[in-house]
């Protein structure tokens, strides 16, 4: 559980700056095969099933062989992410920043739906690979014609991405927050039992609505951004 967390080494790995050796036996595989195998395990059995042992077994090699390609497990995770994120969407064919951002959110959500373990580990300070980096680049393009400052554009796309991330679990099939998962029904019973202490929560029966939690939040965020944009746009 050490996970060296050496961002410089991770960067060299992800951006192809590792020097290829000239002498010695040919490697039996490469780092992308490791990444693919690990992604396969994570997709099938969850991220917690991904161990050096398990991934090595998937490739038919011993655990320690992986350490020739990857310094530690943190690097394994890094290449997994880079392998699992798909191609960033091209938003140039869409008119208007709002439609672009909506499409971006949809694409992001779809990518994460294919790899449910992805959103949780892509949070926080981290070195991204080139494929992943293309995503925020794409998102920024949506706001290019906007009067927002560079800083605000960055904040705006993080706001959208973080919202999709947070609502990801609740947005999976047709489930909704407070009604999905196995903890939710128990939580509901507890609230009803303690309705005197938590009247607002207890009476919130998760009324079915036309929009999902994810849609509601995205809509609100975009409305808020629109407000900021029109405010900065000189009228006339």
Partner DNA sequence: GAACAACTGTGTCCATCAGACACTGTGTAT
Partner DNA sequence: ATACACAGTGTCTGATGGACACAGTTGTTC
To the nearest 10°, report the CA torsion of 66, 69, 71, 72: -40
Q: Is 198 in the site for a second copy (CB under 8 A)?
A: yes
* Closer by beta carbon to a second copy, 28 or else 187: 187
Q: Which does 227 bind (CB under 5 to 8 A by kind): a second copy, DNA, none?
A: a second copy
* Closer by beta carbon to a second copy, 197 or else 235: 197
Q: Is 144 in the site for a second copy (CB under 8 A)?
A: yes
Sign of CA dihedral 160, 166, 167, 172: positive
Contact assessment for residue 50 and residue 42, using Cβ atoms and an 8 Å cutoff: yes
* Closer by beta carbon to DNA, 76 or else 118: 76
- Please enumerate, as own/partner, the contacts of 221-225 that have beta carbons within 8 Å and a separation of 24 or more: 221/159, 221/160, 221/163, 222/98, 222/101, 222/102, 225/98, 225/101, 225/156, 225/159
Question: 84-99 burial string, b = 16+ CB within 10 Å, else e?
Answer: bbbebbebeebeebbe
Q: Which does 73 bind (CB under 5 to 8 A by kind): DNA, a second copy, none?
A: DNA
Q: Which of 18, 63, 68, 227 binds a second copy (CB under 8 A)?
A: 227
Q: Which of 93, 208, 234, 236 binds a second copy (CB under 8 A)?
A: 208
Nearest distance in Å: CB 69, DNA: 7
Q: What is the CA radius of gyration of the chain?
A: 22
Nearest distance in Å: CB 59, DNA: 9
* Closer by beta carbon to DNA, 58 or else 103: 58
Nearest distance in Å: CB 235, a second copy: 18
Q: What mask, x for binding a second copy by CB under 8 A, covers residues 7 to 36?
A: xx-xx---x---------------------
* Closer by beta carbon to a second copy, 43 or else 215: 215
Contact assessment for residue 87 and residue 21, using Cβ atoms and an 8 Å cutoff: no
User: Alpha-carbon distance 19 to 3, whole Å?
Assistant: 22
83 backbone dihedrals φ, ψ, rounded to 5°: -75, -30
Residues in 63-92 at the binding interface with a second copy, rule: CB under 8 A: none
Nearest distance in Å: CB 98, a second copy: 12
Q: What mask, x for binding a second copy by CB under 8 A, covers residues 40 to 59?
A: --------x-----------
User: Alpha-carbon distance 30 to 34, whole Å?
Assistant: 7
Q: Which of 149, 192, 232, 233 binds a second copy (CB under 8 A)?
A: 149
């Amino acid at each position: 559980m050490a996970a060296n967390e050496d961002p410089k080494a991770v960067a060299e790995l992800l951006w192809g700056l590792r020097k290829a050796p000239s002498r010695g036996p040919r490697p039996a595989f490469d780092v992308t095969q490791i990444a693919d195998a690990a992604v396969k395990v994570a997709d099938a059995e969850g991220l917690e099933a991904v161990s050096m042992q398990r991934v090595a077994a998937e490739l038919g090699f011993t655990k320690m062989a992986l350490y020739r390609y990857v310094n530690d497990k943190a690097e394994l995770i890094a290449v997994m992410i880079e392998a699992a994120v798909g191609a960033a969407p091209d938003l140039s064919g869409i008119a208007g920043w709002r439609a672009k951002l909506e499409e971006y959110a949809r694409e992001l959500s779809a990518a994460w739906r294919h790899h449910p373990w992805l959103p949780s580990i892509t949070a926080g300070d981290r070195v991204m690979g080139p494929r992943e980096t293309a995503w925020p680049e794409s998102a920024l393009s949506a706001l290019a014609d906007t009067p927002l400052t560079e800083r605000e554009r960055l904040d705006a796309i993080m706001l959208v991405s973080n919202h999709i991330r947070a609502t990801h679990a609740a947005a999976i099939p047709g489930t909704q927050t407070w009604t999905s998962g196995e903890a939710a029904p128990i939580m509901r019973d507890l609230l009803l039992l303690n309705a005197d202490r938590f009247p607002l929560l207890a009476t919130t029966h998760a009324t079915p609505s036309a929009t999902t939690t994810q849609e509601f939040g995205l809509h609100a965020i975009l409305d808020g951004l629109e407000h900021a944009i029109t405010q900065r746009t000189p009228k006339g």
